[in-house]
């Protein structure tokens, strides 16, 4: 990395750059231009702020890292500010005091990701953040940042087995552990987990440890000789481990990546226990060859299928989000009656030939409440959204197939999803065809074929045979039964009223608040978003119950920390300052720090609030045509006031429940931490 990625001219200490992220980013962009590092500060600011609007870039330690790729810079650049007035960048523990603007060239993706990952790794180190907070001048900041960004990769130790790996050193058995970390984005959590595990291992006398972060910015793989000599393996991951065959036969501890950040010592203890247990789970592979894109083979089939479905959901969500929000915007601009004639509006009119209030729709004259630009733009947005929603089932099916079989499963899955839409099987058909496509493609990959045919298998033979099989199965066997099932489900949902609808709302609310972003939460979210493609009132009401219930936990816990500070640790109090905003944005994960620290009091309380919100939402027939956005897509709710009634009811119940639970069933560990912090707060 270039030594001039940051210079004293790109550092500002103890400045007031405004009260909003946009103002801070604009000041930093102007600073980059003044230092000759950006050709257009406005273009740089617009690109960084557009990224900021997708998801806040605040991280732990009251730090923010807005970032972008843009033509406005030619070389990777860091601009840093230490703010007098902290600004809300949606960080987990309060307003940001330290802000990095990371600007990479349009074609500089690798450098951009390397800067991000190195900063993320440094930000788990308290000493680095302390250096920035205590720096007396700009050059001190430059030196601290360059030490991190330009740090050479640590050289791996000799990989051959050593006495330390198999014997005793100073009377302590040394266990050799190999680890892999990975997350969905491959930027922050991947490297934070790797460093948390490494730091925990370095503080112990009983382990040797090496880790392979499989992140977006790349990295060196573990030496095979080290893996071969390892006593156990740790996988802290949210996506499939690449090239897992290297670890075949090793005792394994397999957990989500967040556990590597939050419980590194516990995972190391479990790895040591696995090394000593001849019956411990081991890494296995299926078929004659391990494929990098294939769903990993060490897990049980139920887990593989669960991960594949979650993969399908994660890839489907952007289609739902883009399509659903465009549909909602279409209604906002063009009015709800525009849905009856949007095809004629977009095909028969243009910017130079705008529609009036009355137009011919398929031979029938129809009158619309709006006309001109509003009606035309509304129809364009609605049509674009319809096209996006048309891919939802195919994307779900295609990427479930990908989750099970890798790239050979994508095409058959998409084709199966399209067939499901054609025969009326809907998202249920998409789930079925995705699983079938993945399983069939996975099975065909295990065939032993001549070498000359091997190169054709993934790109021609497997997609061809699997697609043919899916077509035959759907058209000859499953199409009509799945269509009947889908029609029956839609009819049941549309017929729900009164107590049955309220019961469904209760169930949705309980699921949304059970694991706050985990599999149960995602299952409820899939139920809501997949139904949007049906376009029925019942589907809109289910989506509203899903979204409103998911907003409850962060808001309720934020309010509880304000009402009864003594029941929460100082860290939880800090989290409470920003959790309400995450809740209003429908980011249920804002409640995870509270639930992780005190699950037996927090989770049941949040489930009560979520069940209340879901029940009230369904009882009031609240519907929403957007799949995300929380309060910020208020225009998409009908009736809009129902959102507030259901949300307030759920938040009130959850807030009272968590306060009562903590008051009358106190958590001794949290009380001890709070008691220790109180004298320090008084002294300050």
Catalytic residue IDs: 67, 183
Is 186:216 a contact under the CB 8 Å cutoff? yes
Which token pair is 53? Answer: 């609007």
H or E stretch at 147: helix 138-149
Residue with tokens 């769903």: 295
Give 112-143 as a DSSP string: HHHHHHHHHHHTT-HHHHHHHHH--SHHHHHH
Is 266:199 a contact under the CB 8 Å cutoff? no
What 3-state DSSP class applies to 235?
strand
Count of CB atoms situated within 10 Å of the CB of 484: 12
C-alpha–C-alpha distance, residues 585 and 514, integer Å: 19
Query: If we measure between CA atoms, which residue out of 110, 286, 125 comes closest to residue 199?
Result: 125
From start to end of 153-274, where are the E strands? Answer: 168-169, 172-173, 175-182, 207-213, 232-237, 252-255
Which residues does 305 contact at the CB level (< 8 Å), separation at least 6?
Answer: 404, 435
C-alpha–C-alpha distance, residues 609 and 560, integer Å: 13
Count of CB atoms situated within 10 Å of the CB of 684: 5
C-alpha–C-alpha distance, residues 326 and 625, integer Å: 10
C-alpha–C-alpha distance, residues 150 and 131, integer Å: 17
What does R_g of the chain's alpha carbons equal in angstroms?
A: 27
What HEC string does 561-622 produce? HHHCHHHCCHHHHHHHHHHHHHHHCCCHHHHHHHHHHCHHHHHHHHHHHHHHHHHHHHHCCC
C-alpha–C-alpha distance, residues 420 and 427, integer Å: 8
Residue with tokens 């990371």: 102
* Count helices and strands in the chain by DSSP H and E runs: 27, 16
Residue with tokens 């806040």: 56
Which token pair is 535? Answer: 């376009």
Which residues does 302 contact at the CB level (< 8 Å), separation at least 6?
Answer: none
Give 308-356 as a DSSP string: HHHHHHHHHHHHHHHHHHHHHHHHHHH-GGGGGTHHHHHHH-BTTB---
Residue 298, CB half-sphere, CA atoms under 13 Å: how many?
A: 24
């Amino acid at each position: 990395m270039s030594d001039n990625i940051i210079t004293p001219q790109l550092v500002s200490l103890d400045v007031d750059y405004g009260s909003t992220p946009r103002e801070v980013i604009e000041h930093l962009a102007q600073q980059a231009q003044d230092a000759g590092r950006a050709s257009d500060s406005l273009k740089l600011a617009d690109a960084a702020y557009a990224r900021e609007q997708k998801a806040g870039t605040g991280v732990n330690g009251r730090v923010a890292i807005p970032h972008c790729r843009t033509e406005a810079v030619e070389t990777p650049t860091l601009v840093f500010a230490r703010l007098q007035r902290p600004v809300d960048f949606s960080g987990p523990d309060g307003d940001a005091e330290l802000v990095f603007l990371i600007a990479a060239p349009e074609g500089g993706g690798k450098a951009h990701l390397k800067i991000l990952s190195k900063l993320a790794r440094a930000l788990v180190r308290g000493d680095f953040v302390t250096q920035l907070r205590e720096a007396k001048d700009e050059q001190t900041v430059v030196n601290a940042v360059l030490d991190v960004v330009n740090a050479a990769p640590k050289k791996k130790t000799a990989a051959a087995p050593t006495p330390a790996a198999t014997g005793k050193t100073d009377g302590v058995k040394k266990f050799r552990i190999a680890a892999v970390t990975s997350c969905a984005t491959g930027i922050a959590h991947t490297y934070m987990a790797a460093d948390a595990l490494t730091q925990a291992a370095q503080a112990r006398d009983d382990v040797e440890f090496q880790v392979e972060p499989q992140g977006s910015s790349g990295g060196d793989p573990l030496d095979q000789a080290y893996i071969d000599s390892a006593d156990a393996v740790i996988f802290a991951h949210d996506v499939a481990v690449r090239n897992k065959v290297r670890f075949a036969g090793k005792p394994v501890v397999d957990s989500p990546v967040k556990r590597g950040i939050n419980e590194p010592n516990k995972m190391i203890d479990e790895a040591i226990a696995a090394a000593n247990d001849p019956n411990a789970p081991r890494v296995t592979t299926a078929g004659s060859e391990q494929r990098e894109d294939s769903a990993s083979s060490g897990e049980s089939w139920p887990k593989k299928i669960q991960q594949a479905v979650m993969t399908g959901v994660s890839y489907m969500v952007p289609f739902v989000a883009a399509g659903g929000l465009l549909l909602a915007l279409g209604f906002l601009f063009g009015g709800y009656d525009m849905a009856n004639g949007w095809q004629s509006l977009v095909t028969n009119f243009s910017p130079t030939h705008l529609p009036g209030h009355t137009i011919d729709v398929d031979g029938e004259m129809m009158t619309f409440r709006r006309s001109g630009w509003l009606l035309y733009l509304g129809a364009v947005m609605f049509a674009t959204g319809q096209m996006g929603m048309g891919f939802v089932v195919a994307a779900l099916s295609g990427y479930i197939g990908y989750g099970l079989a890798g790239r050979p499963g994508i095409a058959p899955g998409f084709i199966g999803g399209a067939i499901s839409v054609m025969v009326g099987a809907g998202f249920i058909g998409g789930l079925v065809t995705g699983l079938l496509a993945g399983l069939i493609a996975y099975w065909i990959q295990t065939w032993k074929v001549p070498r000359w045919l091997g190169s054709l298998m993934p790109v021609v033979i497997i997609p061809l045979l699997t697609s043919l099989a899916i077509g035959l199965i759907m058209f000859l066997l499953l199409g009509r039964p799945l269509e009947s099932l889908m029609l029956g489900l839609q009819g049941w949902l549309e017929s729900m009223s009164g107590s049955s609808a309220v019961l469904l709302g209760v169930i949705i609310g309980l699921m949304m608040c059970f694991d706050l972003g985990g599999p149960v939460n995602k299952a409820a979210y899939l139920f809501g978003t997949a139904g949007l493609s049906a376009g029925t009132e019942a589907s809109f009401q289910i989506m509203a119950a899903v979204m409103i219930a998911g907003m409850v936990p962060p808001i309720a816990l934020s309010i509880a920390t304000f009402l009864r500070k003594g029941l929460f640790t100082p860290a939880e109090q800090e989290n409470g300052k920003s959790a309400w905003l995450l809740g209003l944005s429908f980011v249920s994960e804002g409640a995870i720090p509270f639930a992780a620290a005190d699950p037996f009091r927090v989770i049941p309380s949040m489930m009560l609030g979520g069940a209340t919100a879901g029940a009230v939402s369904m009882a009031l027939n609240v519907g929403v045509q957007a799949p995300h956005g929380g309060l910020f897509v208020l225009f998409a709710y009908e009736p809009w006031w129902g959102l507030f009634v259901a949300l307030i009811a759920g938040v009130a119940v959850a807030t009272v429940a968590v306060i009562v639970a903590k008051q009358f069933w106190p958590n001794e560990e949290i009380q001890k931490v709070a008691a220790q912090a109180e004298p320090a707060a008084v002294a300050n």
